[in-house]
Amino acid sequence: MQGTSGPTEVTPQRGTVTAASATSVTVASTDGLRATYAITSSTMVKRDRATVAGDKLLVGDSAVVRASGSTATVVRDLSPAAGSKVGSRAGQHGMNSRRHVPTTRCPTV
């Protein structure tokens, strides 16, 4: 990601929301990482495709956070109800499946 003063490192974390407020979100990953990220006016926060305030994130929801340092740039939250809809379509490109992309063979010249 290109920041105003040069490249900016953006770190993603996938896990479960363990705390949330209007100004921060804490996410715990299955690998044991637990991190708290600041939510600012420039953070994009989504819950089940709707743009929401940070305090609308719920403990127990699945989330992916993209952050620059300790400030979240994007928080994508998926409620259990929406997650079950995704899970029922797991074979149809669900959250944890990989989409099959057909390849074309180019003739060797």
Please choose, from the candidates 10, 21, 101, 12, the residue with its C-alpha nearest in 3D space to the C-alpha of residue 53: 21
Q: What share of the chain is helix, strand, coil (3-state, %, to 5)?
A: 15, 40, 45
CA distance 31 to 14: 10
Q: How many other CB atoms are there within 10 angstroms of residue 50's CB atom?
A: 9
Given this model, what pLDDT does residue 92 score? 40
Given this model, what pLDDT does residue 79 score? 85
Matching residue, tokens 């495709």: 49
Given this model, what pLDDT does residue 11 score? 77
Per-residue burial over 10-28, b if 16 or more Cβ lie within 10 Å, else e, is eeebebebeebeeebbbbb
Q: What is the pLDDT along the chain (109 residues), one digit of tens a residue?
A: 444 565 666 779 999 999 999 999 999 999 999 999 999 999 999 999 899 999 999 999 999 999 999 999 999 999 888 765 544 444 443 444 334 444 444 455 4
Domains for the chain: give ranges and CATH numbers. Answer: 10-81 (2.40.50)
Matching residue, tokens 């490109």: 93
Given this model, what pLDDT does residue 81 score? 81
